[in-house]
A and B are shown apart, each in its own frame.
Chain A
Amino acid sequence: MKTKGFAAPYAVWMILFTIAPILLVVIYALTDRTGRFTLENFRLFLDPIYFSVLLRSIGMALLCTLLCLLIGYPAAYFLADRHVDPRGMLIVFFIIPMWMNFLLRTYAWLTLLESGGLVATAVNWVLRLFGANEEVRLLYSYQAVLMGMIYNYLPFMVLPLYTVLTRMDASVEEAAEDLGAGRAQVFWRVKLPLSLPGVFSGITMVFMPAVTTFVISRLLGGSQFRLYGDLIEQQFLFTGDWNFGSAMSLVMMVLLLISMGLMNRFGDREGGGVL
């Protein structure tokens, strides 16, 4: 059966909304306002003001990914346990927040963290019990941005891990136990190595959106904790320098491609990456 024709709508879609925009970005990045070829946009980017934002974005994304892994792995491990009883319900609870737009969720955090908000009040009440006099401001801090990122990206870590852990052949674990491995050894010698494709996939799926984060950082971090994504947004929407914005986007794209390539190489070595 010929199915080639079935791909036509997608091909049109891809050309219009993926390939053409990328080409435009490349063209804009390599030209100046008058349309002449130039590398000036990239030279400008090396200015410490901009470059440091890129480094901060990468640093924050790495930290966010690490924390998501540390929180997400045990969570996925727990959810994947056959003996956990209302497993379906717990998973639904986990997924429900994902059905809402991330902007809504981030605005919710804004009200929770702002002075007088539920979380802020609670934290300060606890701190006062320990003798603190000054009120601690939660919103517009590095921690608030990180918190918002983790909250938004954690499911992308948990889901691939959950998939890989539930698909794992239970008899392989039994075989390890049978051969003399206690619970801890089963984990370190069998479960963890076999779940690595899920780990790499989770890392990729969290790191990618985390490093291009914007809005979250603006809402929860104020103006002090601007990230690379905010910078690009600013170039396009406020400064109007599309050429510089495109150059920064291109740098980010290359960076993402490199990190994706790295992850896939790790994933392959461990028996097939998910992405």
Chain B
Amino acid sequence: MSIVEQEHLIDLEDLSMVYDGGTEALKHLNLYIRRKEFVTLLGPSGCGKTTTLRLIAGFETPSSGRVIFEGRDITALPPYKRRVNTVFQRYALFPHLNVYENVAFGLRLKKAPEREVRAVVAEMLEMVGLQGFEKRTVDKLSGGQQQRVAIARALANRPEVLLLDEPLGALDLKLRKEMQLELKRMQQHLGITFLYVTHDQEEALSMSDTIVVMKDGLVQQIGTPTDVYNEPKNAFVADFIGESNILPGLMLCDELVRFDGADFPCVDRGFGENRPVDVVVRPEDIKLVPPEQGMLRGVVQTVVFKGVHYEMTIRTGGFTWLVHSTLCEPVGAQVGLSIVPFDIHIMRKEEA
């Protein structure tokens, strides 16, 4: 089903970036991006995701390492010679030009014939749903419309890669959801590579082929949305991607782990015996059962109705669990918690 090709389009080799003030924004990043892939760099602010994007766009020069594009080293190439285009966080439209001229900007620089300019601009505006807006000044447009102009402007140059720097950050929730779907549709329709930067895990999960989770300039995990969600490599990833219960545990032997005062069968092997580990359990993977059937017993502390499910916190002997359930138990009720082996994720303790 995936249309991602195997060939590497971009290779980042051992990229490091130290800013003038001494801030290490990026530490020895190695990453490849394949043709037609939708890659998302996900992480909290200051994790190096935007720096990575700017290094690929050419706005920054790395302190060390190389940026390879289709096998060619482009580390020293200025932005205007790179076949990538950027959608900026705050759109960065040209306020002195109207919608048409904003979208035509790149084509005019290439001295494209007027007929081609007209055709491409029309096509782009149609794709982003802004036909009839040609003569409008950009600062009279709404945030969502400005964003569409920014996307059309970047795509009019027919880039190999579209770089998107938190493009939906300034939009309201409903619009953001719509734009997520539209961006994904455009990416598949045009068959070009998208490199998307966001701190919104939900956005990353719903749009990407590959997610790169970053923290403090280091890659934490690279994988498909399913991998990253279901098999987080460490506590940071587990915590950052979705909500989860993360608690210390002890790996007794292969396929048996102890946490919160009880022993649980699990599916993980190879951690050794009696090794301290971190255990991750997603709130939706915990089943509420009658107290006598539970692997753990606890008392309901809070209940919040979330629409599809109830979000509960349940206090057991040694931990307060976050549980999502379609069943509602009243506050103060005694409940049993049950977790199947497959839903218990074991992670090596992070070196402090």
Known: A174-B59, A174-B86. A179 touches B105 (CB 8 A): yes
A53 at the interface (CB under 8 A from B): no
Contact partner, A179, options B89, B90, B96, B106, Cβ 8 Å: B106
The chain B residues found within 8 Å of chain A, CB to CB, are 57-59, 78-80, 84-86, 88-90, 92-96, 105-106, 109-110, 153-154, 157
Known: A171-B90, A174-B59, A174-B86. A181 touches B109 (CB 8 A): yes
Identify which of B59, B96, B109 contacts A180 (C-beta below 8 A): B109
Assess whether B78 is in contact with A177, with CB atoms less than 8 Å apart: yes
Chain B residues contacting A174 (CB-CB under 8 Å) are 57, 59, 79, 86, 88, 92
Additional A-B contact list (17), CB under 8 Å, known A175-B94, A180-B80, A194-B95: A169-B92, A171-B89, A172-B92, A172-B94, A174-B86, A174-B88, A175-B93, A178-B79, A178-B80, A179-B106, A179-B153, A180-B110, A181-B80, A181-B109, A182-B80, A190-B94, A194-B94
With beta carbons under 8 angstroms apart, the residue of A180, A189, A194 that contacts B157 is: A180
For window 166-202 of A, CB contacts with B under 8 Å fall at 169, 171-172, 174-182, 185, 189-190, 193-194
Find the B residue at minimum CB distance from A173: B92
Distance, CA A249 to CA B37, complexed state (A): 72
Q: List 14 A-B contacts (CB under 8 A).
A: A171-B88, A172-B94, A172-B95, A175-B92, A178-B84, A178-B154, A179-B105, A179-B154, A180-B80, A180-B106, A180-B109, A182-B78, A193-B96, A194-B95
Which chain A residue shows the least CB distance to B79?
Answer: A177
Q: Check B95–A179 contact: CB distance below 8 A.
A: no
In the complex, chain A residues whose CB is within 8 Å of the CB of B92: 169, 171-172, 174-175
Chain A nearest CB from B105 CB (Å) reads 5
- Residue A74 CB within 8 A of the other chain: no
A176 lies within 8 A of B105 (CB): yes
Rounded to whole angstroms, the CA-CA distance of A119 and B74 in the bound complex is 52
Q: Check if B96 sits within 8 Å of A271, measured CB to CB.
A: yes
Which secondary structure dominates where chain B touches chain A?
loop
A232 shortest CB reach to chain B, Å: 40
Q: Is B96 a contact partner of A178 (Cβ separation < 8 A)?
A: no
Q: How many residues of A are in contact with the other chain, CB < 8 A?
A: 19
Given known A171-B88, A171-B90, A185-B109, contact A177–B96 (CB-CB < 8 A): no
Q: Determine the distance from Cα of A174 to Cα of B94 in the docked complex, in whole angstroms.
A: 11
The 8 Å CB contact of A178, one of B86, B95, B110, is: B86
Bound-state Cα–Cα, A181 to B86, Å: 13
Known A-B contacts A178-B57, A179-B153; A271 and B86 likewise in contact (beta carbons under 8 Å)? no
CA distance A271 to B95 in the complex (A): 8
User: Which of A174, A175, A178, A271 has the largest number of chain B CB atoms within 10 A?
Assistant: A178
Q: Which residues of A contact B94 (CB under 8 A)?
A: 172, 175-176, 190, 194
Check if A270 is an interface residue, CB within 8 A of chain B: yes
Q: In the complex, A174→B91 CA distance in Å? A: 11
**Most B CB within 10 A of own CB, among A176, A177, A180, A185:** A180
Name B157's closest neighbour in chain A (CB-CB): A179
Chain A contacts for B85, CB-based, 8 A: 178-179
Task: Give B118 Cβ to nearest chain A Cβ, in Å.
Answer: 18
B59, B96, B157: the one contacting A270 at CB < 8 Å is B96
A177–B89 alpha-carbon span in the complex (Å): 16
Chain A contacts for B93, CB-based, 8 A: 172, 175
* Closest beta carbon of chain B to A179's beta carbon, Å: 4
Closest to A269 in B: B96
Chain B contacts of A189 at CB under 8 A? 105, 109
Q: Which residue of B lies closest to A172 (CB)?
A: B92
| Interface residues as binary, A235-275 with B (CB distance below 8 Å gives 1, 0 otherwise) | 00000000000000000000000000000000000110000
Contacts of B157 in A (CB 8 A): 179-180
B153: A residues at CB distance < 8 A: 175, 179
B110: chain A residues at CB < 8 Å are: 180
Establish whether residues A194 and B96, one from each chain, have CB atoms under 8 Å apart when the complex forms.
Answer: yes
Q: Which of B84, B89, B105 has the most CB of A within 10 A?
A: B105
Chain A residue, CB-CB nearest to B95 = A271
CB distance from A196 to the nearest CB of B (A): 8
CA gap between A179 and B101 in the complex, in Å: 13
Neighbouring B residues of A190 by C-beta, 8 Å: 94, 96
**B86 contacts A175, CB within 8 Å?**
yes
Known: A171-B88, A171-B90. A177 touches B95 (CB 8 A): no
Report the bound CA distance from A271 to B79 in whole Å. Answer: 28
Q: What 4 pairs across the A-B complex have the smallest Cβ distances? A: A179-B106, A171-B92, A175-B92, A177-B79
CA distance A169 to B95 in the complex (A): 10
Contacts of A270 in B (CB 8 A): 96
Smallest beta-carbon distance B5→chain A, Å:
25
Cβ–Cβ < 8 Å partners of B105 in chain A: 176, 179, 189
Partner of A175, one of B58, B84, B88: B88
Q: Indicate the member of A172, A176, A179 with the most B CB atoms within 10 Å.
A: A179
- Tell me how far the C-beta of A125 lies from the nearest C-beta in chain B, rounded to whole angstroms: 45
Query: Closest approach, in angstroms, between the C-beta of A87 and any C-beta of chain B?
Result: 14
What A residues does B154 contact at CB under 8 A? 178-179
Q: What are the residues of chain B within 8 A of A185 when measuring CB–CB?
A: 109
Quote the shortest CB–CB distance from B348 to chain A (angstroms): 40
**Residues of the A chain whose Cβ atoms lie less than 8 Å from the Cβ of B86:** 174-175, 178
Given the complex of chains A and B, what is the CA–CA distance between A194 and B92 in angstroms? Answer: 13
> How many Å lie between the Cα of A169 and that of B78 in the bound state?
20
Neighbouring B residues of A175 by C-beta, 8 Å = 86, 88, 92-94, 153
> How many angstroms from the CA of A269 to the CA of B84 in the assembled complex?
33
Q: Chain A contacts of B80 at CB under 8 A?
A: 177-182
